[in-house]
């Protein structure tokens, strides 16, 4: 139950809302029970008075009935209003809370999770947490208060009436929920897991539909999705069946409680210790009182699903970032040279180091290229420099300071990246550009796009900079997407520029145009390029050649031609096959 304690701490900012909503729910229930009991007494008393031919004061009970009805209506409206407001506020804050914990884990710690699984956690699992308040905490609080008040009320008439009423209320409000929770715990956990698996399978199927169709695997994927759906439906059906059974059991408890009450109360009427209208009042009071415990079996049944969702969320929240933030962090660097000093790093569970013994100094304002085949460790150096991972040994310095002494956000604020896999959000061109600088005026946006040689294309679009690019920029070509990335980097105006094979996969003309844009972007900046292609590197000041994470050669290309030629033979072969 550690998850319950932690969730209750997250609910702290909304406890006032919850208290008001719970009080409104209690008031609504009491008004409904009062309405039923008063109506039973009033109708019976009126019938008895009519039969006896005597007059009675019907104004007071009629006013009580009407007042109870009005309070019930207003209370139910107020309870729904307050509880839904509290729930919506809570869910919104939980999503922000989860995302704030998710962000420091990217990308290192999130590689083990599928995007569909993460989406399921931030949507379905967080949505499931509202059950804890609306369908667990509120019904439990209402039931506890109501059972005490109902028992005290029955004590005024006879101890046996109170004992019988309490017995059946406890049976329906405690026994059935315990049984329901035991039955629902395992299916609830499986539902949380199966919903995530189903969402992942559907996302994979939709995103890879072209490949599935091409290789004739679409039917197999459909069967896999159908299997997951059937498994999910089976657990949901079991919970629904159990819910129907417990509701019938609550009704049975109410009926048995009524029969026992009549068995005890009728002799009291014969003895004159109870009046006939009081008997009718107590009968309807008994039936109405079970409204307090009716939601409890389902509430405890949902507890398994809620706890499973909380466990999945806390499993990510409790994950330690790959790089801990320093306390206190170093101030902003005064200069922006880069130094890799005997850097060694291994990915978790990897058979060998991704990079080992790497040494490289890139003075401020100069350009360096890291060349290597796929898997040689080029991207790892970028990930280490961006502080997504921390070196196992050695150090990386910017401006003479170890980057581990900087706060990650402060360091990345001084670095711009242009890569072959530029992510464009499902938004407008303008919104994608403003990611780099939210306060950039339109003039600065257009100036950056002119340098990136993309402004003329954007201007010809019917909606210009407000054109929607689609998911991952599907409405733009690869070259256009990378020019957007160049414009982004210009808007960021960072002193360090990282280029991750920015021209890979482009035709010769597009590559030439993009390099012209990059030439302008690189002026006055410390530039580090990673590439597998040895050609066209005359514009860099130094080169580092990697092979399986180790240095093969380092220096000016013109100074070490033989070493470069020997090292680049396999790289040329790889480049020619692309």
Gap between the Cα atoms of 543 and 561, Å rounded: 11
Which among 190, 181, 194, 254 is positioned nearest to 224, based on CA atoms? 194
Sign of CA dihedral 34, 39, 44, 49: positive
CATH class of residue range 335-411+537-578:
alpha beta
Mean pLDDT of 59-82: 90
- The answer on pLDDT for 506 being more than 80 is no
From 161-170, 332-341, 469-478, the region with the lowest mean pLDDT? 469-478
CA dihedral defined by 4, 195, 424, 576, rounded to 10 degrees?
120
* Torsion of Cα atoms, 563 then 566 then 569 then 570, to 10°: -90
Closest CA to 404 of 348, 346, 497, 321: 321
Residues of the chain with CATH 3.40.50.300: 335-411+537-578
| Residue 572 predicted with pLDDT over 60 | no
Q: At 559, is the pLDDT very low, low, confident or very high (cuts 50, 70, 90)?
A: very low
Residue in this structure with the two tokens 């008439």, named with its chain if needed: 157
Contact indicator for 65, 35 with CB cutoff of 8 Å: yes
Residue 570: which pLDDT band, with cuts at 50, 70 and 90?
A: low
Distance CA 133, CA 378 (A): 50
Taking the C-alpha atoms of residue 433 and residue 264, their distance in angstroms, rounded to an integer, is 78
Is the whole model's pTM more than 0.85, yes or no? no
Token pair 């009005």 in the structure block, residue: 70
Q: What is the pLDDT of residues 439-454, one digit of tens each?
A: 999 999 999 898 888 8
Burial class (CB in 10 A: 0-12, 13-18, 19+), 298: buried
In the block, which residue shows the tokens 């667990």? 136
Compute the Cα dihedral for 405, 409, 413, 415 and give only its sign. positive
pLDDT recorded at residue 535: 65
pLDDT, averaged across the chain: 87
Helix axes 218-270, 296-317, angle to 10 degrees: 140
The interaxial angle of helices 296-317 and 138-155, nearest 10 deg, is: 150
The continuous run of DSSP H or E covering 333 comes out as: none
Write the CB contacts of 404 (distance below 8 Å, at least 6 apart in sequence): 323, 326, 387, 390, 395
Is pLDDT at 430 greater than 90 in this prediction?
A: yes
Listed in order, strand segments (DSSP E) in 255-327 are none
Alpha carbon distance 243, 241 (integer Å)? 5
The yes or no reply on domain 2-317 and CATH 3.40.50.620 is: no
* Sequence ranges of the chain with CATH classification 1.20.1560.10: 2-317
**What whole-number percentage of the chain has pLDDT above 90?**
43
């Amino acid at each position: 139950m550690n998850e319950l304690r932690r969730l209750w701490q997250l609910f702290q900012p909304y406890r006032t809302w919850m208290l008001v909503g719970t009080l409104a729910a209690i008031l609504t229930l009491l008004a409904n029970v009062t309405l039923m009991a008063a109506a039973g007494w009033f109708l019976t008393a009126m019938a008895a008075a009519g039969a006896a031919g005597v007059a009675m004061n019907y104004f007071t009970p009629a006013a009580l009935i009407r007042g109870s009805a009005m309070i019930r209506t207003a209370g139910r409206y107020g309870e729904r209003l307050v509880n839904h407001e509290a729930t919506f506020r809570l869910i919104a804050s939980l999503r922000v809370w989860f995302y704030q914990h998710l962000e420091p884990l990217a990308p290192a710690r999130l590689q083990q999770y599928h995007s569909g699984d993460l989406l399921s956690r931030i949507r379905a699992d967080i949505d499931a947490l509202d059950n804890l308040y609306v369908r667990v905490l509120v019904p439990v609080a209402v039931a506890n208060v109501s059972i005490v008040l109902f028992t005290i009320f029955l004590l005024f008439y006879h101890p046996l009436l109170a004992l019988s009423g309490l017995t059946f209320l406890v049976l329906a409000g405690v026994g059935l929920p315990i049984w329901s929770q035991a039955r629902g715990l395992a299916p609830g956990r499986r539902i949380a897991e199966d919903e995530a698996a189903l969402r992942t399978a559907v996302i994979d199927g939709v995103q890879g539909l072209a490949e599935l169709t091409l290789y004739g695997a679409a039917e197999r994927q459909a069967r896999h999705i159908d299997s997951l759906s059937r498994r999910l439906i089976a657990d949901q059906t079991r919970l629904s069946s159990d819910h129907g059974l417990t509701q019938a059991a609550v009704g049975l408890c109410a009926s048995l409680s009524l029969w026992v009450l009549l068995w005890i109360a009728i002799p009291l009427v014969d003895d004159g210790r109870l009046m006939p209208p009081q008997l009718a009042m107590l009968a309807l009071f008994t039936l109405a009182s079970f409204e307090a415990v009716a939601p409890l079996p389902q509430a405890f049944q949902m507890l398994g699903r809620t706890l499973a969702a909380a466990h999945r969320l806390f499993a990510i929240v409790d994950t330690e970032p790959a790089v801990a933030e320093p306390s206190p962090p170093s101030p902003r660097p005064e200069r922006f040279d880069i130094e890799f000093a005997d850097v060694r790093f291994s990915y978790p569970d990897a058979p060998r180091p991704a990079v080992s013994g790497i040494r490289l100094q890139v003075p401020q304002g100069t350009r360096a290229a890291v060349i290597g085949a796929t898997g040689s460790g080029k991207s790892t150096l970028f990930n280490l420099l961006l502080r997504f991972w921390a070196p196992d040994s050695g150090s990386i310095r910017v401006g003479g300071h170890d980057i581990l002494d900087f706060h990650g956000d402060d360091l990345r604020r001084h670095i711009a990246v242009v890569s072959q896999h530029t992510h464009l959000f499902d938004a407008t061109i303008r919104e994608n550009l403003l990611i780099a600088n939210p306060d950039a005026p339109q003039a600065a946006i257009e100036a950056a796009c002119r340098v990136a040689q993309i402004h003329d294309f954007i201007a010809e679009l019917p909606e210009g900079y407000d054109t929607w690019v689609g998911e991952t920029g599907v409405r733009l070509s690869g070259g256009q997407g990378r020019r957007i990335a160049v414009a982004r980097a210009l808007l960021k105006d960072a002193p360090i520029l990282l280029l991750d094979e920015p021209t890979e996969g482009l035709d010769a003309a597009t590559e030439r145009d993009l390099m012209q844009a990059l030439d302008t972007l690189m002026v006055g900046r410390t530039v580090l390029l990673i590439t597998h292609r040895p050609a066209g590197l005359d514009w860099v000041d130094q080169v580092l050649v990697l092979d399986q994470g180790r240095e093969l050669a380092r220096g000016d290309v013109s100074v070490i031609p033989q070493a470069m030629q020997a090292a680049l033979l396999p790289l040329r072969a790889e480049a020619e096959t692309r």
